[in-house]
Structure 1
């Protein structure tokens, strides 16, 4: 730490005081558990919960240390009630500790106990030090782990600990939400004026407490100059005391159409932005252009900046005699995609040199796409690297250049007025297409301007069209002919399925989904090798009519929604679909010989909302001896806020109900 010592010598000495708990927090004292606390078998926050966090409090503060700088002190207290065996997991505790090149975070003052009722009395079982283990995760992280002893159904556990950290960038985040509901979750942070942190808040549960106050406190630091001499510095500074608390926080559970729970969990985290006087001023968080400039100099990413003459043979082998730029780009892309294997589908940092990638024909996503960029540049095509965060990794912040928020690297090329985005690490993607996991909002081009990009899931529409014609054959059976054009991402899935399991598996799935006795006469899957376009499925089938008085026939065959994907009655965070959808199903069926129509579903057209963000059409009619159906489902946007969930759920309930309706044929008398 570098100080403005002349300013410090003008200030007085007093140690920084720990912020005090507010009166409205639950009053729990470590080691004091009353028998009445065991009487509850369920809690109103979630009557089906397996375990409930009764109270958790975190406190972070800065203290002067003996190295002439500051230490971050992070104290945690947590008490939980285990209601049944499925809640035992709350007694397994993992504490991450960061390790640097010369120092590491330390866990101190750990104590933990389990409490049970025995013969009407509260009995405590303490955690032994020998039961605490340390796992080295990688060169940066280690985990301290322990499991509370003597845990049973109905046990109450509590533990507390302190982490001392020399890493000022690692002001601890706080998660107010998790897999168990919380009756009270609180975080207090006291930040001196000479440190500036960006505060990032996330989540949908409201704060019960959110306050900020300031006061003056004194700091004392010491630094050994010689074996016999220690220099001490004391100064006064303003402290911002911030406090956040949430009450009755429900558990966060995985729902359908969720990018990742990381995007929605209620939490607070911090990013060190700058040092301020009386410290020597230092800007920590740079601008986007600063950060991208550093990435351009990165040993791995910077490989694309050279002449890379050694790539000439590979480029020539890929493009041959092709002179058109777009066609050259397509051939290079296809060569890299089809000849290299991705060993890790995430990461924007390289794991090896491009020469090694080319020689070994494998690498992570960054290795492969950077090689693609270098080859494109060698072929005279303007290409740049783009970093983004995939859906499962979470959102990035367009305002703040936080590289740990990114986990993927793709290529961007410009030819004429057109820009194409490429991912050669995914063998199922055609030229100009990205996997839908990449459509997660803000991204950045690694160039001098740090050009921002936006990959919105709303820009993707999965269009699907199926046409079905069913007639009577001479043997008294129904003879069907189906043509189906899959959406782009469904086509990618089909290509993978055929590659892994063969074509027959696709038709087995169709028959199973239709829920009918189908015998295939002809079957084909077209365009499997044409990666830029959709896959066409064609087949013919027969279905017996039997000799029943009534025939029940679902006209949607395998194209129906059997279940509502939105099962929960309530949703606490948004719905995030990976793409918009436009599904059209056309059917014409002859009435089976010897039968007549007894019952036919009613027609319906319904909108999701006033803006028409979703439309469901079910148009069915009978003309003479044939029935025609046109069924279409359109969802034109992908993000729905929690307050829109009930409407969306009811809309799909209606779709599922209508899709289940059947045509009833009865035997003629």
Structure 2
């Protein structure tokens, strides 16, 4: 009987603990918890996340979108301290409309000598600022943060943008013990919902009746001296149906970022609501995006998109001077592309719509992505080329899997050439035809035609980027090496190098390169063709590095790839559900010549090997040759597809494991 009572008491306590989510009701059990029982590696855990987004009617301003947030976080160690800072970024429009964060209430809880101590966030700990011209930011850091503490906060966001609902995210970089989310919409606003991720995201749906009360007043009396003015108040109700979706999750695992993932957000469990149509009482129905054709037409007909393509007067004279004597379409395209890149500088803002317009961007020689690439597209069309704008979602923005106006945040240009096409982005001065910035290599873009038609186009490049590395090495008897390194990079490899090198201080760049290779000492550093985009970029330098071989008795052991070898397999998970995204196909060749120390001969070298991935996805070749005093090594690695299905994950993981082992195998020299 006593055991039964103890078990009953324990179950009751655990149930009460698990369900006690009322704000401020933090328990000793939560504060005493040393680690997450289901994920001991987690530095923090969401004990409870709650969000409710709903519509509220204001008689003077109409419907507003209200979001209520409550979060309770357990911080286990110092690595979790970052979660004690909350940043809320809010969209704003060009007018006076903006989102407002209010009703902030927050506490930090610590357990001191068996008692719960709470520390309140004060008003002077909340900071509001302009993050950029499109976003405001409200930020606060919780006080009295210690290992083992619990922080809890709640706030409300009020938005006039009833048509834009932030994604409901259900998975984060740390685990979640309990998550509840609610979305309510009146019958006047029809939203379509799309889900993503590998968790089962199925809401409980229901409808309820609600009402809006309208209030008014009238005054009676003729305004004479002896007349009494009376005010009469009136009210009337408008009943309507609201649609409610409720999500509930327990023990949601962390979604950690992984190598070679285009954007982890693409795989985060989430629900996205987008307005399909609006039907207010006594008004006609207004449709928004329901199909890709609707999306394309809506975007094209926006004055800040399609209309901007039709403007030509501001550039005609200068473009005529550039291409007037040139008839070849490819040359015309190249001349216009280079002209826009040199004429207008990107101001750092993304977007599919212009902000100040193409005329002003051309005049001021600066503009956002849309202004620069819509301008480019317009000029190409003016020059007689079949050019169209392409909507793109950058890697961080995710992949628009369903018809959506908000899924794209970038614009590039598409030029039809014979049986093929060329993609251009004039925002990057180091870009070239079909060499797009890495951030835009994200599955497919959507080509937008004049009347709003659309078609998909693959954004990943077909041609391989090549990196050829030549190493001339002298191996010394004390295990140190010195020599010369030369690398030649093409296409996306060259673009990436130019972005890093041309925008950096050379001394800092060299120091970073030395640190990358474990304390290499570099001299006579030189870069060629860093500004000539028609040629590969070439980097060369002399180097010295100590302790590159182990000397045991009369033998010397070393990896023939020295500081160029790969030390660690980037693929560590037992199982992976995400595609492996390399960004672009590539090939790397290592040509290494090693002059051996005098008085030593080669006793053994790694065996040659040639491995290939299935379906021609990639290859690895490793081959050595020896003469009297010289060892030669040739290593080739190729990845032939920019993105590889997760079905091949185990194969890719094993492939990397084997070639890393091979790169780390050692040559053995023995004293003659």
Normalising by structure 2, report the TM-score.
0.79
Aligned partner of 1:16 in structure 2 is none
Which residue number in structure 2 is paired with residue 556 of structure 1? 561
Q: 2:454 matched to which residue of 1?
A: 451
Among residues 270, 274, 277, which one is paired with 2:277 in the alignment? 274
Residues 177-211 of structure 1, C-alpha deviation per residue, up to 9 Å, x if partnerless? 3343211112133445553212122223455xx44
Report the Cα offset of residue 344 of structure 1. 1.9
1:173 has 2:167 as partner = yes
Alpha-carbon distance between aligned partners in 2 of 1:525 and 1:311, rounded to the nearest angstrom: 36
Q: Find the residue that maps to 2:636 and give its secondary structure.
A: strand
Deviations 1:596-626 (CA, angstroms, capped at 9, x unpaired): 2111012333345x54534323234557886
Distance 1:149 1:335, change over 3 A: closer
Is the Cα–Cα contact under 8 Å of residues 68 and 221 in structure 1 kept in the other structure?
no
Distance 2:113 2:375 in 1: 70
Match of 1:57 in 2: 50
Q: Distance in 1 between matches of 2:485 and 2:137?
A: 56
Residue by residue, what CA displacement relative to the aligned partner does 1:117-156 show, whole Å, maximum 9, x if unpaired? Answer: 3342234444456655544556875555444444433222
State the secondary structure of the residue aligned to 1:117.
Answer: strand
- What CA distance in whole angstroms lies between the structure 2 residues aligned with 1:395 and 1:498? 30
2-structure distance, mates of 1:30, 1:284: 38
Indicate if the aligned counterparts of 2:522 and 2:541 stay in contact, CA closer than 8 A: no
CA offsets, 1:423-450, max 9 Å, x none? 2221112234322322212322232243
Give how far 1:354 is off: 3.8
The separation in 2 between residues aligned to 1:81 and 1:641, in whole angstroms, is 36
Q: In 2 relative to 1, CA 526–135 (structure 1 residues): closer, same or farther, beyond 3 Å?
A: closer
Q: In the alignment, which residue of structure 2 is the partner of 1:631?
A: 635
Corresponding residue for residue 4 of structure 1: none
Q: Which residue of 2 aligns with 1:77?
A: 70
Gaps of 5+ in 2: 1-14, 220-231
Separation (CA, whole Å) in 2 of partners of 1:24 and 1:241: 28
* 1:653–1:30 CA distance, 2 compared to 1 (3 A): same
User: Relative to 1, partners in 2 of residues 1:28 and 1:291: Cα closer, same or farther, differing over 3 Å?
Assistant: closer
Equivalent in the alignment of 1:217: 209
Q: Is structure 2 residue 616 aligned with structure 1 residue 600?
A: no
Equivalent position SS for 1:392 = helix
**Correspondence 1:493-504 to 2 at 5 A:** 493-496=496-499, 499=502
Deviations 1:217-275 (A, max 9, x none): 343442537574545234353x5443323322333444332333332333222111123
Q: 2:563, 2:82 → 1: CA distance?
A: 41
Aligned partner (choices 426, 429, 433) of residue 427 of structure 1: 429
Counterparts of 2:592 and 2:331, CA distance in 1: 40
Counting matched residue pairs gives: 635
CA distance in 1, matches of 2:120, 2:472: 72
Is the 8 Å Cα contact of residues 460 and 584 (structure 2) preserved in structure 1?
Answer: yes
Alpha-carbon contact 2:392-2:445 (below 8 Å) kept: yes
Q: Which residue of 1 aligns with 2:653?
A: 649
Q: Which shows bigger deviation, 54-63 or 275-284?
A: 275-284
Which secondary structure state, in structure 1, belongs to the residue aligned with residue 493 of structure 2? helix
Contact 2:204 2:247 in 1 (8 A): no
Measure, in 1, the Cα distance between the counterparts of 2:474 and 2:29.
73
CA distance in 2, matches of 1:180, 1:517: 37
Query: 1:639-666 CA distances to partner (integer Å, 9 max, x unpaired)?
Result: 4566754553343232222112232332
Secondary structure at the residue paired with 1:327?
helix
Change (3 A) 1:606 1:69: same
Aligned counterpart, 1:19? none
Q: Deviations over 1:284-314 (max 9, x none)?
A: 3365444444544544444654463453432
The change in CA–CA distance for 1:323 and 1:250 in structure 2 (over 3 A counts) is: same
Q: Which residue of 2 aligns with 1:250?
A: 253
Return closer, same or farther for 1:249/1:607 CA change in 2, 3 Å cut-off.
farther
The alpha carbon displacement at 1:483 in A equals: 7.3
Structure 1 506/170 Cα, relative in aligned 2: closer, same or farther at 3 Å? closer
Contact 1:62 1:70 in 2 (8 A): yes
| 589-598 vs 184-193, which moves further | 589-598
Instruction: List per-residue Cα deviations over 1:456-477 (Å, max 9, x = no partner).
Output: 43735323345678899xxxx9
Q: Which whole-Å CA distance do the structure 2 matches of 1:527 and 1:175 have between them? A: 45
Structure 2 Cα separation of the partners of residues 213 and 307 of structure 1: 48
Residue 335 of structure 2 corresponds to residue 341 of structure 1: no
Equivalence for 2:152: 158
Change (3 A) 1:425 1:151: closer
User: 1 CA distance for matches of 2:375 and 2:410?
Assistant: 15
Between the two structures, name the one with larger relative contact order (CA 8 Å, sep ≥ 6).
Answer: 1
CA RMSD of aligned residues (A): 4.4
Q: Deviations over 1:527-577 (max 9, x none)?
A: 65652453456899999999x854555433565324433466776754322
Is the partner of 2:397 in helix, strand or coil?
Answer: coil
1:97, 1:333 → 2: CA distance? 35
Structure 1 residue 406 displacement after superposition: 2.2
Partner of 1:186: 180
Match of 2:490 in 1: 487
Which residue is equivalent to 1:667?
Answer: 671
Closer/same/farther in 2, CA of residues 90 and 667 from structure 1, 3 Å limit: closer
Instruction: Return the offset for 1:524.
Output: 8.0
Greater CA drift, 456-465 or 60-69: 60-69
